[in-house]
Chains A and B, each alone.
Chain A
Amino acid sequence: MDDRWAPSRRQLLQTMAAAGVVAAADLAWWEEPLVRPGRAWGAQPVRFQFSVPEPKRTALVESLAQRFNQAQKDFEVKVEFVPQAQARQKLVTSIAANNPPDCCQVWDNWVGEFEGMGAVEDLTPRVRDWKHGKDVTPIAWQTVTVKGKILSFPWVVTNDGVYWRTDRAREYGITPPREDWTWDEFRAAARAFTKLDKNQYGFGMRGQGTWAILYATEFMYANGAQVLKDGKVAVNSKEAVEGLEWYLDLFRKDKVCPPSVPTDGWRGIVEGFGRGVTNMYIHNSGSSEEQKDFVGAQNFATLPLPIGPAKKRTSFYFSETLTAFRNGKNREGAWRFMAWLMDDEPNFMYCKTLGLLPARKTLADRPEFAKDPAYAGFIRSFPFSIVSPYLAHAGWGGKLDSEGVPLFQQALVGKLTAREFLDKFADVLAKNMT
């Protein structure tokens, strides 16, 4: 045995015993663990869950909450940051355990699920008297209305467009597309943009997260497909299969997408473009400010989605919502905080800092949005944008992510054909119509 131990054994035991006493004492008075920030004030604080903790957003939301806390003395707002990947699970488990935050920022396609659990505070009566109620575009209200009830504030509302590297296009002699470009032109550009020797790819397709399916669906719509027809799931129609086939082939056959597509989520596509690996990607306006830092404002532009064989195109609106919960501890406080966030200055600051489009008309008309070329692709898409068809049934939001995406990935990697995928996907949708 090791001799070095011998002299210190008693000391060792004494230390261990002392540590045991400390632990026992702590077990007895556990309510206040050793290190803990200062207590909240007398009134019940408002817990606000924010689900996109990246540095810019965190700093922004913290400073907004701070401003609000300084502006009134009745209660304190505490922001809880949860990674997007865990946000839905955290909310659902806390709802099930009857301990939800007072309010949260999520996406419209999750709200239906929470409503299904009977957890969401119905804002309809309050919104009727709210001073900016008429200023919010009807389509934005539509994204947060489930079965006639307004369940959230649309904090921002945005649609999808194509990001495009203008400097690289010049370098490779690619003519910048017109606004009403077609699928063929889109594919040709993606091909011309693909330079394997430079580790560059034409199109950063998304393979992970709900929007992987939403972007694919936009292409299906451009081929004349619909998710629902006469109240029945029609997502596996012939048009849908053909449209999806064409879209998937960009990755599978045309090889204009990076090999990491099946695992690329939001971060993957934005970073891929930002770091110069991809030269086009589809996203909402929310990454435009980011890309100004990454690639420079002068080096990229945004365009509407291309027109499909059906001479159509569609872009889906979605909103980032402010949603309150029925079992929150301070419902009045939650309402006041959310309404404050929708006020002119806070709302403008939030949208402008992050590059998202405000749901309120007076704000969206300001030159910072209306005149900036980085938003052109989105604003010009408004005429043909619709509310996401997957909002039609409350049960779909979560299923898209948990069941739809794994199936979609199988289609991406060639384990399922476009038809097989859509048949299975249609089954999932049909089973969860509520």
Chain B
Amino acid sequence: MAPSDATVAVALPRSFSSRRARELMTGYLYLVPVAIALGGTIVVPILKAMHMSLFNYVLIKPQEYGFVGLGNYTRLLRDETFWLTLWNSFVWVFGSVSLQFLGGFAAALLLHQSFRGRAFVRTVTLLPWIVPGVVVALVWEWLYQPNYGVINDVLLRAGVLRDRVAWLSDPGLAMPAVIATNVWRGVPFFAIMLLAGLQAIPEDLYEAARVDGAPVTRRFWHITLPLLRPIIIVATATRVIWTFNYADLIFVMTGGGPANATQITSTYTLLMAYANLDFGYAATLSVVLLVIMLVFTVLYLRVTRGIESVT
């Protein structure tokens, strides 16, 4: 785009070129507010985080403040808990996103049908996604509550459980429990994304297939899935990134406990900043998070580019 602009600018008479210059000035002027807003709230803080990650910066030990070079990064490599949180993050992301996808797909297929009260059901389905994260966390903490929680009560009455279970206190159950909550929260996201995709598929494709006598399963495999592929990839990738970064739910529900069973990298970063007040190390962790995300984003862009060139 830029080269053609340049040729145009050269080829045009002077008055035009000065108008173009004015136009460009206007364009840049319009970008000034966004530059200020994001410069102050993203760019400067990120640079600052990178800077902080090179220092021994523990709030409770101001006298030990000093430059340590890559010291925090070597500490990170030897930090067993960090590696554990990476693994936990993987379980958390994989468990959450795959189940959200399956649930969301099923919901999208349902919501795509026409039935009475569809508008209502659609709106209701979206609720878990839009309420504040802290609300979700608290609601589920209340559901999981060992003594007054409704989940234990239902399972006891149904005879599935014999004793009460402390869902969030058992290291084996805590992760599945927070994932279940996150699935509840994320199903609507996939549902609306895939629903939008479904609505974009022309009905005549199905008609034609029906005329050819293709049963509903085949229509699904041969029309629905392939045409949804781009949106599936995009939605999954965004969700993976978002889930990887997402800390609120675990932070509120378990704080990463018990015994780090639900500690993912982003909550570990929070813990370092809030409980240990070790800002240097927290910054290091967040820089590493950022790098992981950038790598993933690049991969994601590659894949979506590929899709664009295909479609």
Contact = CB atoms under 8 A, between A and B. Distances in A.
Tell whether any CB of A sits under 8 Å from a CB of B in the complex.
Answer: yes
Given A402-B276, A413-B258, A415-B171, A199 B164 contact: yes
B59 A260 contact: no
B165 interface: yes
- For A96, A116, A263, A398, which residue has the most chain B Cβ atoms within 10 angstroms? A263
Interface stretch (A127-135, A168-176, A404-412): A404-412
Interface residues of B, number: 26
Interface string A183-212: 000000000000010010000000110000
B61 interface: yes
Contact of A96 (B62, B170, B275): B62
Contact of B163 (A92, A113, A196, A264): A196
Contact of B60 (A116, A262, A275): A116
A259 B146 contact: yes
Given A409-B259, A413-B171, A259 B166 contact: yes
Nearest to B256: A406
Interface in B250-290: 254, 257-261, 271, 274-277
Nearest to A262: B258
B164 A259 contact: yes
Contact of B146 (A92, A96, A116, A260): A260
Contacts of A196: 163
Nearest to A97: B59
A413 B147 contact: no
A224 interface: no
Contacts of B238: none
Interface SS of chain A: helix, strand, loop or mixed? Answer: helix
B147 A275 contact: yes
Contact of A93 (B59, B61, B169, B259): B59
Contact of A260 (B62, B166, B275): B166
B194 interface: no
B175 interface: no
B259 A277 contact: no
Given A410-B260, A413-B171, A413-B258, A92 B166 contact: no
A199 B147 contact: yes
Nearest to A416: B259
A263 B166 contact: yes
Interface string A230-264: 00000000000000000000000000001111111
A117 interface: yes
B54 interface: no
B198 interface: no
B168 interface: yes
A318 B257 CA distance: 27
Contacts of A275: 147
Contacts of A260: 146, 166, 169
A8 interface: no
Given A196-B163, A262-B169, A413 B276 contact: no
Given A277-B147, A406-B257, A415-B259, A118 B169 contact: no
Instruction: Give the size category of A's interface with B.
Output: 20 to 34
Contacts of A89: 274-275, 277
A164 to B, nearest CB: 20
A117 B277 contact: no
A196 B162 CA distance: 10
A116 B61 contact: yes
A428 to B, nearest CB: 12
Contacts of A403: 276
A117 B260 CA distance: 29
B59 A406 contact: no
Nearest to B253: A263
Interface in B140-173: 146-147, 163-166, 168-171
A116 B171 CA distance: 35
Contacts of B163: 196, 259
Nearest to B62: A117
A277 B147 CA distance: 8
Interface string A88-117: 010011011000000000000000010011
B259 A258 contact: no
Interface in B103-156: 146-147
A262 B146 contact: no
- For B60, B146, B164, B259, which residue has the most chain A Cβ atoms within 10 angstroms? B60
B52 to A, nearest CB: 13
A178 B277 CA distance: 46
Contact of B169 (A113, A261, A277): A261
A290 interface: no
A263 B275 contact: no
A179 interface: no
B60 A92 contact: yes
Given A89-B274, A89-B277, A275-B147, A263 B259 contact: no
Contacts of B276: 402-403
A207 B258 contact: yes
A403 B261 CA distance: 15
Given A258-B146, A275-B147, A401-B275, A409 B59 contact: no
Contacts of A113: 60
A263 B168 contact: yes
Contacts of B277: 89, 92-93, 398
A96 B271 CA distance: 18
B259 A412 contact: yes
A27 to B, nearest CB: 12
Given A258-B166, A259-B164, A263-B166, A96 B59 contact: yes
Nearest to B163: A196
A259 B165 contact: yes
A96 B254 CA distance: 28
Interface string B85-117: 000000000000000000000000000000000
A276 to B, nearest CB: 9
Nearest to A408: B259
Nearest to A409: B259
Contacts of B63: 118
A406 B276 CA distance: 12
5 contacts: A89-B275, A92-B277, A259-B164, A398-B277, A406-B260
Given A199-B164, A409-B259, 15 more contacts: A93-B277, A96-B62, A117-B61, A118-B62, A118-B63, A263-B168, A263-B169, A263-B258, A277-B147, A398-B60, A398-B277, A402-B275, A403-B276, A409-B258, A410-B260
User: Closest 10 interchain pairs by CB?
Assistant: A262-B258, A259-B166, A260-B166, A409-B259, A410-B259, A263-B169, A402-B275, A260-B169, A96-B59, A413-B171
